[in-house]
Structure 1
Amino acid sequence: MTEDILRMRGITKRFPGVVALDDVNLSVRRGEIHAICGENGAGKSTLMKVLSGVYPDGSFEGGIDFEGELCRFSGIRDSEDRGIVIIHQELALCPQLSIAENLFLGNERAERGWIDWNRTNTEAAELMRRVGLNENPTTQILDLGVGKQQLVEIAKALSKKVKLLILDEPTAALNDEDSAHLLQLLRGLREDGITSVIISHKLNEIVSIAETVTVLRDGRTVEVLDLRDGDVTEDRIISGMVGRELSDRFPVRDAVIGDEVLRIEDWTVHSPTQHGRVVVDKASIRLRRGEIVGLAGLMGAGRTEFAMSVFGRSYGKDISGRIFKNDQLIRLRTVREAIAQGIAYATEDRKRYGLNLIEDIKRNVSAAGLSRFTQGFGWIDDGKEFSAAEEFRRSMNIKAPSVLTTTGNLSGGNQQKVVLSKWILTEPDVLILDEPTRGIDVGAKYEIYTIVNQLAAQGKAILVISSELPELLGLCDRIYAMSAGRITGEVSREEANEERLMQYMTAGVSAGREENR
């Protein structure tokens, strides 16, 4: 039997008023890919921060044995010196520096205080080759997509002689192609003897790549599953995560669809940074009351740019086209005008654009509709603001002791509920949801889907942008497909399937790329 490279024994981690980890045990065999699964707030990331020294020895109870030795890490550098490297969901790269500079930041290839750039770029090129990154080492990080930035992070780990690689939601922001490449890379690293621990909500990827799964629930280890047996399914993992059988991933809904509420015609958007580049090309869609409409497309298709440009021209320049609300031509020149017209947009990046993470839930919920709580001379009625936020905390089942809880301390699923609460407060007729379930677990996804269905039942028109085709197929009444900035197809719920959507999503991609060069 393969020996354990890692054993974490009786790990307990407390925060003020919260026990995040309660007597957690984790064993990882040398050379395997080990997955850690659990709902948001189960303690997965906290456990890995304990392991990597982010939470230093003395701030938790329990012990860590690595390669048969008791380890006491006072910081990340200590764990990295032993060959344990963590790649967080929010990548820790310097965008203005080159790939090579990022790879050896803090570990520079220098002699007598002078950096040897020839050695730096040569060694960087070799590391990039190992991870399949075909770029010039001098390329700036800001010129790379998220998928390639992930590869830079892994190459950086290899430069530190990694033995145990920890990846926290590595494919959350990647498209299918980049995700497949990353998973194949992890298989290659396994062949090289590198052990990996992966945290992911994408259970299909876990089942395809991992050999062992440790399931956490409410800060405790509930079970360890051996995927090599071949009988562990996604549903089996889900039942361990949520403590019950989840018979259907999507709540049942009887759609009652009314009249058209929003129509967008010939919408064209140019890039604000690349002169002459058309990002959205004569796109036309329509939304009806009580209807959930999907927008599918590969990364770079222009979906988010389309949504943001419609929402008060938050993106783009030289925008043309027409928007009709209830058959009346309207102008949405600013975000304020879009909100006033009953249009809301929940961004795909809730942490950067959707929330103020250092503020409490109350302030985040009221942010887009603050005028509802103002009195004379612009004073805010704190009591009304508190009551409104508290009502959303209860109705949306936001797991927090109070609306005065700092939003950054919430799990991803609860943060997403705060984002939705903020926009529902504005009482929109049209709600655009951009990747509404990115980075949240299956239980929280079900709750979000239920909320979306309730909003549709209230007569709101909803546009859902998602990179997960099963999500669109399970949630939407109609689905548009987008490719290279163009709407390439429209299918009803009954006609839609993954193969047909993918045909539309890849239509004209090469031609579109040529035109945009």
Structure 2
Amino acid sequence: MSQPLLKVTDLAKSFSGVWALSSAQLTVGAGEIHALLGENGAGKSTLLKALAGAQPQTRGEIWFNGETLPVDDSPVERQNKGIITIYQEFNLLPNMTVAENMFLGREPRKRNLIVDERAVNQEAQVILDYLQLNVAPTTPVARLSVAQQQMVEIARALTLNARLIIMDEPSAALSDSEVESLHRVVRELKNRGVSIIYVTHRLHEVFQLCDRFTVFQDGRFTGTGAVAETNVEQLIRLMVGRDVAFNRRPASVTHHEDKPVRLAVKGLSREKPPLDPHGIALHDISFHVHAGEVLGIAGLVGAGRTEVARCLFGADAFTAGSFELDGVPYQPRDPLYALDQGVALVPEDRKKEGAVLGLSIRDNLSLSCLSSLLQWRWFVNTRKEDDLIESYRKALQIKMVNSAQEVRKLSGGNQQKVILARCMALNPRVLIVDEPTRGIDVGTKSEVHQVLFDMAKKGVAVIVISSDLPEVMAVSDRIITLSEGRVTGEIHGDDANEERLMTMMAINHNTLNAA
């Protein structure tokens, strides 16, 4: 490698005496796509925040574009030097237009200092055309899909003359076609000489897109090299310090036809919400799941997977349909009713809907089962509460300082484990898990899968919704596919492969009617 664009040496960061990062190293060349890998809690986010100027390092040096960066640089100063970070939670103002977000605070102005809106929109259009983003610069960001908002973030980075763009889990919420578009844009940026730090848990992306990689484990640098000279097994070993086996659900436990039907859904339908431009209608959806069975629901983005889960949990209204839970009518009018009946949901968006981020781990876990922890009707039995928390900490291997730690300070994988633990504490009859391992590292993914298997072994009916087809095939006894809000097929897990599932998921309304 010639003179690098970025070189991080011996970088460390401590929080109240706890080292989140120690002796980190990272070297990125000009025009290089560099994968930054590691389990949740490995120190990746801490490093990214140090690079962005959001958190000063405790020690170490960051060398960028020929100069050593001051420790006290602000995020704006780092942006002005060409380091742009695109976080998982976008920094866009939803009520402002695409162009306004792209040039916020740097708008072209007329002689009288009034913003030249025509110039703003024209300059924005040039960049949008370059990115092949087919949206008008005058479109409010709130009307855009997640993939389109991400492209607006990239467009904004280009207006800032970015030399280095840091992308934190950019593909986590995208469909396959959207990921392809993202990869095309990243390669275009590389051709322009822009360097990319690409954080991902999807290892196949590393081999499709990246030139080099760096791995962290438990806050320490464990390896770097050329992607062409490594393989998946070596990367996993560097990330977790061990080999990780992704076991398929054992064939001996995947047939449940002789077990009672736990949940039956007949004719579930709902109209498209009038105020939601991305809302999905559901049409006559029927299926069932047995006690002890893991049922997978697969479908492309917009197929209605999440909408089905939310209707079953009482979070969204529906216009038609009947349900039975253990043979008894079940009408999920709201989440409290669903929980009372033993139906639990791990939602797709764990940060907004799954956990109360500002509360402690203790409070998040106890919320679901307060009645069982009370003594004298009004007071929580802290000993029982401690025992509950410790049992789930051990069972799910939750990494935490103590139970008083705020959930927001946990890694994504450990946040997901806390939400799972809260659902497990309910002793549910049905557990619905929407995108159980999105944004989670390979080691934790294997652990989450085992939790789902253990729940099913105890007789819980588990419904797994995932955009990751290998995951659906690995965990499911049986799989149903959705397209355009309709069930398009059903297949036993042992008979499933990606090609068959994709074919079933691609069936459209006209094809179904013809059949």
By the TM > 0.5 criterion, same fold? yes
Q: Deviations over 1:452-487 (max 9, x none)?
A: 110011011100000000000111111010000001
Asked if 1:89 corresponds to 2:88, the answer is yes
Structure 1 residue 337, shift from structure 2 partner: 1.4
Distance 1:68 1:275, change over 3 A: closer
SS of equivalent to 1:174: coil
The aligned counterpart of 2:196 is 196
Q: Is the 8 A contact 2:244 2:446 kept in 1?
A: no
Please tell me the residue identity of whatever aligns with 1:65: W
Match of 2:215 in 1: 215
Distance 2:344 2:473 in 1: 23
Shift of 1:386: 3.2
Residues 434 and 465 in structure 2, CA contact (< 8 A), matched pair in contact too: yes
One-letter amino acid matched to 2:286: S
Structure 2 counterpart of 1:99, one-letter code: V
From the superposition, tell whether residues 377 and 451 of structure 1 become closer, same or farther in structure 2 (CA, over 3 Å).
Answer: closer
Please report how far the alpha carbon of residue 378 of structure 1 lies from its aligned counterpart in structure 2 after TM superposition.
Answer: 4.1
Q: Which residue of 1 aligns with 2:372?
A: 372
Asked whether the equivalents of residues 280 and 303 of structure 2 are also in contact (C-alpha less than 8 Å), the reply is: no
Structure 1 counterpart of 2:185, which letter? L
**Partner-residue secondary structure (3-state), 1:110:** coil
CA contact (8 A) 2:249 2:476 kept: no
Matches of 1:275 and 1:121, distance apart in 2:
26
Q: Is the 8 A contact 2:12 2:24 kept in 1?
A: yes
Per the alignment, residue 515 of structure 1 pairs with: none
Output the amino acid matched with 2:52. S
User: Once the two structures are superposed, what CA deviation does each residue of 1:311-343 show, in whole Å capped at 9, x if it has no partner?
Assistant: 12x113x52111011222222212121112111
Unmatched 5+ residue regions in structure 1?
513-517
SS of the residue corresponding to residue 201 of structure 1 reads coil
Aligned AA (2:60): G
Name the structure 1 match of 2:262.
261
CA deviation after TM superposition for structure 1 residue 371, in Å: 2.4
Counterpart residue type for residue 18 of structure 1:
V
Cα distance change on mapping 1:449 and 1:253 into 2, 3 Å: farther
Query: Retained in 1: the 8 A contact 2:311–2:332?
Result: no
Q: How many residues align?
A: 506
User: RMSD of aligned C-alpha atoms?
Assistant: 1.9
Match of residue 295 from structure 2: 293
TM-superposition CA deviations, 1:249-285 (whole Å, max 9, x none): 5575742632211100000012333599861111011
Q: For 2:301, give the aligned amino acid.
A: M
3-state DSSP class of the match of 1:352? helix
Distance 2:510 2:413 in 1: 36
Q: In 2 relative to 1, CA 253–385 (structure 1 residues): closer, same or farther, beyond 3 Å?
A: farther
**Secondary structure of the residue that 1:36 maps to in structure 2?**
strand
CA distance in 1, matches of 2:218, 2:145: 35
User: CA offsets per residue over residues 370-419 of structure 1, 9 Å max, x none?
Assistant: 22223456444344333322221222211113211111111111111100
Match of 1:272 in 2: 273
In the TM superposition, what are the counterparts of 1:69-218 in structure 2 within 5 Å?
69-72=67-70, 73-111=72-110, 112-218=112-218
User: Does the C-alpha gap of structure 1 residues 247 and 381 become closer, same or farther in structure 2, counting only changes over 3 Å?
Assistant: closer
CA distance in 2, matches of 1:165, 1:115: 27
Residue in structure 2 matched with residue 32 of structure 1 by the alignment: 32
Bigger mean CA deviation after superposition, 466-475 or 264-273: 264-273
Distance in structure 1 (CA, Å) of the matches to 2:139 and 2:386:
49
Code of the residue aligned with 2:90 in structure 1: it is L
Tell me the distance in 2 between the aligned counterparts of 1:327 and 1:6: 62
CA displacement, residues 71-98 of structure 1 (integer Å, 9 cap, x when unaligned): 1152111111111101011111111111
- How far is 1:428 from its partner? 0.5
How far apart are the structure 2 equivalents of 1:476 and 1:273? Answer: 34
Structure 1 counterpart of 2:236, one-letter code: I
Aligned mates of 2:22, 2:419 — CA distance in 1 = 30
Q: Are the counterparts in 1 of residues 295 and 463 from structure 2 also a CA contact under 8 Å?
A: yes
What TM-score results when the alignment is normalised by the length of structure 2?
Answer: 0.95
Secondary structure in structure 1 of the residue aligned to 2:494 = coil
Report the Cα distance in structure 2 between the residues aligned to 1:62 and 1:479, rounded to whole angstroms.
50
Q: CA 1:393–1:126 in structure 2 vs 1: closer, same or farther (change >3 Å)? A: same
1:329 and 1:12 mapped to 2: Cα distance? 57
Letter in 1 for 2:433: L
Q: Distance in 2 between matches of 1:253 and 1:12?
A: 47
Q: Do structure 1's residue 61 and structure 2's residue 59 form an aligned pair?
A: yes
How far did residue 22 of structure 1 move? 0.6
| 8 Å CA contact retained: 2:280, 2:307 | no
Corresponding residue for residue 233 of structure 2: 235
How far apart in 1 are the matches of 2:319 and 2:64?
Answer: 57
The residue type equivalent to 2:272 in the other structure is S
Task: Report the Cα distance in structure 1 between the residues aligned to 2:273 and 2:380, rounded to whole angstroms.
Answer: 36
Q: CA deviation at 1:143?
A: 0.6
Residues 322/32 of structure 1: CA separation in 2 closer, same or farther (3 Å cut): same
Q: Tell me if structure 2 keeps the 8 A contact 1:93–1:102.
A: yes
State the AA in 2 paired with 1:38: G
Name the CA shift for 1:270/1:370 in 2 (closer, same or farther; >3 Å).
farther
**1:189 alignment partner, SS class:** helix
Residue aligned with 2:204, SS: helix
Name the CA shift for 1:351/1:365 in 2 (closer, same or farther; >3 Å).
same
User: Once the two structures are superposed, what CA deviation does each residue of 1:349-390 show, in whole Å capped at 9, x if it has no partner?
Assistant: 111110111110111112222222234564443443333222
User: Does structure 1 retain, via aligned residues, the 8 Å contact 2:280–2:304?
Assistant: no
Partner residue, 1:246: 244
| 1:324-339 correspondence to structure 2 within 5 Å | 324-339=324-339
Separation in structure 2 between the aligned mates of residue 42 and residue 118 of structure 1, nearest angstrom: 46
Contact 1:268 1:281 in 2 (8 A): yes
User: 339-348 or 363-372: which moved more?
Assistant: 363-372
Whichever residue aligns with residue 269 of structure 1, its letter is R
Where does the alignment leave 5 or more consecutive residues of structure 2 unmatched? none
Q: Which amino acid aligns with 1:260?
A: V
Q: Distance in 2 between matches of 1:420 and 1:273?
A: 33
One-letter amino acid of the structure 1 residue matched with residue 412 of structure 2? G
Cα separation, 2, equivalents of 1:7 and 1:459:
53
Instruction: Indicate if the aligned counterparts of 2:8 and 2:62 stay in contact, CA closer than 8 A.
Output: yes
Please, which moves more after superposition, 232-241 or 133-142? 232-241
Which amino acid letter does the alignment assign opposite residue 211 of structure 1?
Answer: D
The residue matched to 2:73 in structure 1 has which SS? coil
